[in-house]
Structure 1
Amino acid sequence: MSIIIVMTFLSVILCADTNELPIGFTEGELKNKNLIYDMGTRTDPPIGPVRNIAEYEPMQGVLIRYPFGISTSLIASMSEDVIIYCLVSNNLQNSAYNSMNNGGVNMNNVEFILGSTDSYWTRDYGPWWVVDGNGDVGVVDFTYNRPRPNDNQAPSKVANHLNVPYYSADFVSTGGNYMTDGFGIAASTHIAYTEQDECNTSNEYSVPLPGCSYVDDILEEYYGINTYHVVADPNNEYIDHIDCWGKFLSPTKILIREVPISHSQYDEIEEVADYFSSVLTSEGTPWEVFRINTPNDQPYTNSLILNNKVYVPIMNSSWDGPALEAYEAAMPDYIIEPFTGSWQPTDALHCRVKGIPDLTPMPQFDLGDVNMDNQINVLDIVNVVNYVLGLVDFTTSQSQLSDMNEDGTVNILDIISIVNIITGS
């Protein structure tokens, strides 16, 4: 049996960068899904408190892979503002350089990370980022939900290249099915639990699913996530990724696709939209839910937020204009950049690019800055009041920042202390 496993891994490695793999499973991979669990490793978690970095936070670069899954015109546009970190095998580096150089990419903003890959879906296998208790930015890895060892090793290669701390949590996941608000809330579809053996569930229908302590505990310890919204995938597609229908736009805004009532998935999509309308943000307020019309399953939610720009996949159809207007209404302070490509309803721009955050050490937050926005104000009081009333849960970080007298309990005395800071009493 061990010989078979080794030979299968070798066949994947030898085919890397030459035979492009699909975003879904190949027939051979379906027969060898058990190999996924052989790829995982676990380290100690980062020093707490830990905070998971959101997509809309400051980014110094993006992670792509050669051969590309996006146009050089898109790469050129991004290279004007950030560093392009390109995963590429040694024998293809010159080809990657020439392709970008000929495509007008700012080569002063390109860095190559050498090593084989199996596919170009850097969103799905790329690193997840955290800020630890020392204010250092690092990578907390997961086990990629495809039996692709080269892709699975990409986060450690990125961490080594950037000389940042690397941790691994050893649970099965994928980046296209994960989003965080940056303040202790995250969301995914049902495969976050159903693909994890320890969860022992096949529930693909509930909104939300009952929690799975194995995954939930890992997310809290390694990523600082205390509220995890896991819902049935409303698209009923093979991929089951949340970025095919939803997106956190800010700590208080979420974008969810919309379809005509005649669409086969209308009820399911409205169910998840209603669910997110009913739950609270990290600030203890209802989510501001924005909708974007996708009558023919256009991948408009599969966009990339990159600093002050939003790169939106478009389809050269009459629905593109209203989709861009929806982004402009939801994100008026951003520049909306449309790009065409080989987009599919289940695979578009967001799937093929992954942000690299600003690696400048982030300062520790002061006691009382409960929402960790570097300000102590009435929003922090609202957060603590809601927590004391049992309306919201806190991450470990938020609990520590709320416990003003450091007695191990968050209560009215801590609220009074925050009020005194604000009023200068």
Structure 2
Amino acid sequence: MLKFLIISLVILSGVFLPLIAQTTPSELIVEGRWVNPPSHDPGIPSEIYHKNMPAVEYQDATVPPQPPVRMCAEWEPAVSVLIRYPLGLPWDLVEDLAQDVHVTCLVSSSNYSSAQSQFTSHGISPSQVDFVITNTDTYWTRDYGPWFVFDGQDAMGISDHVYNRTYRVDDDQSNWYLAPDLGVELWKTDLRHTGGNFMCDGHGVGMSSDDVYNYSFNSTITQDSVNNLMNAYWGIYTYHAFPDPLGSYIDHIDCYAKFLNEEKIVVITNGVDDYNLNQVANQISGLTSCFGGNYQVVRLHCPDNHDAAYVNCLIINSFVYLPLTGYYDEDTAAIHFYERELPGYIVKGYQDYSFEPTDAIHCRTKAIYDPGMLYVDVNPHVDTADLKVKALVHDYNGMGVKTDSVFLVWRFSGDSLFTNYELMDQISGFPDSFQAYLPLPVSEETLSVDYYVFAADNSGRHSTDPYTAPGGYYNVDYEVMGIEEGTEHIVPPERIAIFQQNDKLVFRSSAGLHNIEKISIMDITGRIRSEINRHLLATGGNIIVLDLDRLDLTSGIYLITVRSDQNNYTDKINIIR
């Protein structure tokens, strides 16, 4: 409780405001936490706040990043989480962030010693946290913190907005101190914005509540001009804005919706604003995603009467950090929701007295992305014409993709392990583009395939899409696609599909396997492990099946060459026994 609360009221412009005498930080902060945290929004008419706040001297806008510009999606590879001290987060969450990812903490020079002491006392080592010395007004790093983009030269930097809470001068200026600490460039736009009212898919599609067009400065130019500035500074070429369905004081989209991936968006229900929320959900489901299909909208119940903020979670690397309410059944349902919708992610839950439906973990954290990330991007819509999977694999570190280490990894649905590694071909003329083919069904049990793409580069990084593979993966249902067992015409005739099915090694070709002379199997050391000559092969159809036990192959990667009287076909496969 504040020690110096003065009961008297002053009438200012017809509004009654409580006066609070000066209070030192030590009286407001206990063990690094605000004991009486401020509201996310002051709840005071903005014109009154503006009258009583000092004038803001903003840094001049800079030229935008060199195009093409790409803004990072929330789920892309990150190296740290940005928070602020004094904290607005429970210590058990901060400890996990430091252990699971890394923490970058904004702190003033006057609080630096206290921050060091508190982090150490909670078991966080100096190697797990970086402190950036700068003044801040609040702990909402989501709102004023960095928006990371890659420019046309593959350089990651901060493309900074003017924080729409213009009276929070130190918050708005903090990125000018953060950028040099991270060693990245900062570009500045005149646009007013706030991170809690923005989400994007990493492909140039952004979404907000439509209050963005009412922010100061933004309201003085046309909506097209606002959108054009977003395109220039953030690479956002498609921008969707929705009426705030909650009718709340804050109008932030992260209070009711969230991208889970490029095609899936969660929209909450809360038992109070469901009519408006359903309107937004229906509107989103009718929009086209970056991959050409409509968005899949999934719903998550966040009971208003229990202050649930389940959508205001942080997704980073392979973790979901979820605010909980203490109501067991509802919390458990929310955890199961994210485990179901984001397979492979580890979901961790946290309670805190300061969490509200409009202000929880997402509002108070911000990812710092890997400037040298290996970016793997798969369009999950497989064409029935050829079952081809295409992937963009780009090394932002500039050290080069290992073209012999880009694999389409798959299994027939129902198999416990991914046992098939198809080396993806680099597409001629497009050095970042790779392709490979999924297998045709060979029986009624093989009418569905799970897959992901794995890649490695010369920096030592490796990555997958989906990010949490093999826990997360894409699926192709051949029956839904109209492909049946025995379908032949969709596979290029020069291709031979080679894959493991239980204890068998299967070869399949739509052109037939009539002219096979020899099959050679070589391990990664270059030693020939097995050679099967024509007279031992049951050729004549479209399938050859070999017994792995008779081939005496153990687990490992093998190079298989199929020699015919016309040409040779070579592929890699990963055998798992």
TM-score w.r.t. the length of structure 2 is 0.57
DSSP-derived class of the 2:358 partner: coil
Counterpart selection for 1:23 from 26, 35, 40: 40
Q: Note closer, same or farther for the CA distance 1:361–1:250 as it changes in structure 2 (3 Å cut).
A: closer
DSSP-derived class of the 1:344 partner: coil
How far did 1:360 drift? 1.6
TM-score w.r.t. the length of structure 1 is 0.77
User: 1:376 & 1:360 partners in 2: Cα distance?
Assistant: 18
User: 1:214 & 1:96 partners in 2: Cα distance?
Assistant: 42
DSSP-derived class of the 1:229 partner: strand
Write out aligned runs for 1:207-246 (5 A): 212-246=223-257
Write out aligned runs for 1:249-398 (5 A): 249-260=260-271, 263=272, 265-296=273-304, 297-317=307-327, 318-341=329-352, 342-360=354-372, 374=394, 376=433
Larger Rg: 2
How far did 1:71 drift? 1.2
Write out aligned runs for 1:126-205 (5 A): 126-146=145-165, 147-199=167-219
| Preserved CA contact (<8 Å) 1:176 1:241 | yes
Q: Note closer, same or farther for the CA distance 1:283–1:71 as it changes in structure 2 (3 Å cut).
A: same
Q: Note closer, same or farther for the CA distance 1:36–1:241 as it changes in structure 2 (3 Å cut).
A: farther
**For structure 2, which runs of at least 5 residues remain unmatched after alignment?**
1-21, 29-36, 378-388, 395-431, 437-491, 496-577
Q: Note closer, same or farther for the CA distance 1:304–1:81 as it changes in structure 2 (3 Å cut).
A: same
Q: Read off the aligned partner of 2:90 and give its amino acid letter.
A: S
| Preserved CA contact (<8 Å) 2:81 2:104 | yes
User: 1:26 & 1:275 partners in 2: Cα distance?
Assistant: 30
Q: Read off the aligned partner of 2:69 and give its amino acid letter.
A: V
Higher relative contact order (CA 8 A, sep 6+): 1
**For structure 1, which runs of at least 5 residues remain unmatched after alignment?**
1-13, 202-210, 380-419
Q: % of aligned pairs identical?
A: 34
CA displacement, residues 294-320 of structure 1 (integer Å, 9 cap, x when unaligned): 122511100001100000100001311
Is 1:78 equivalent to 2:97 in the alignment? Answer: yes
How far did 1:289 drift? 1.4
| Preserved CA contact (<8 Å) 2:141 2:366 | yes
How far did 1:28 drift? 8.3
Q: Read off the aligned partner of 1:24 and give its amino acid letter.
A: D
DSSP-derived class of the 1:171 partner: strand
| Preserved CA contact (<8 Å) 1:280 1:287 | yes
Q: Note closer, same or farther for the CA distance 1:323–1:198 as it changes in structure 2 (3 Å cut).
A: closer
| Preserved CA contact (<8 Å) 2:72 2:148 | yes
| Preserved CA contact (<8 Å) 1:46 1:167 | yes
| Preserved CA contact (<8 Å) 1:63 1:85 | yes
Q: Mean alpha-carbon deviation: is it higher for 250-259 or for 177-186?
A: 250-259
CA displacement, residues 109-168 of structure 1 (integer Å, 9 cap, x when unaligned): 111100111010111110100001111110000010111110001112110111101100
User: 1:370 & 1:214 partners in 2: Cα distance?
Assistant: 35
User: 2:47 & 2:148 partners in 1: Cα distance?
Assistant: 29
Question: Which residue does the alignment assign to 1:108?
Answer: 127
User: 1:273 & 1:150 partners in 2: Cα distance?
Assistant: 36
Q: Note closer, same or farther for the CA distance 1:188–1:80 as it changes in structure 2 (3 Å cut).
A: same
Q: Read off the aligned partner of 2:115 and give its amino acid letter.
A: A
User: 1:327 & 1:320 partners in 2: Cα distance?
Assistant: 11
The two structures, once aligned, show a CA RMSD in angstroms of 2.9
User: 1:333 & 1:346 partners in 2: Cα distance?
Assistant: 27
How far did 1:82 drift? 2.1
How far did 1:36 drift? 8.0
Q: Read off the aligned partner of 1:114 and give its amino acid letter.
A: I
DSSP-derived class of the 1:319 partner: helix
Question: Which residue does the alignment assign to 1:55?
Answer: 74
Aligned length: 353
Higher strand share: 2
How far did 1:170 drift? 1.2
Q: Note closer, same or farther for the CA distance 1:27–1:220 as it changes in structure 2 (3 Å cut).
A: same
Q: Read off the aligned partner of 2:150 and give its amino acid letter.
A: V
User: 2:311 & 2:373 partners in 1: Cα distance?
Assistant: 31
DSSP-derived class of the 2:372 partner: coil
Q: Note closer, same or farther for the CA distance 1:101–1:271 as it changes in structure 2 (3 Å cut).
A: same
How far did 1:105 drift? 2.1
How far did 1:41 drift? 3.0
Q: Note closer, same or farther for the CA distance 1:255–1:302 as it changes in structure 2 (3 Å cut).
A: same
User: 1:28 & 1:230 partners in 2: Cα distance?
Assistant: 24
Higher helix share: 1
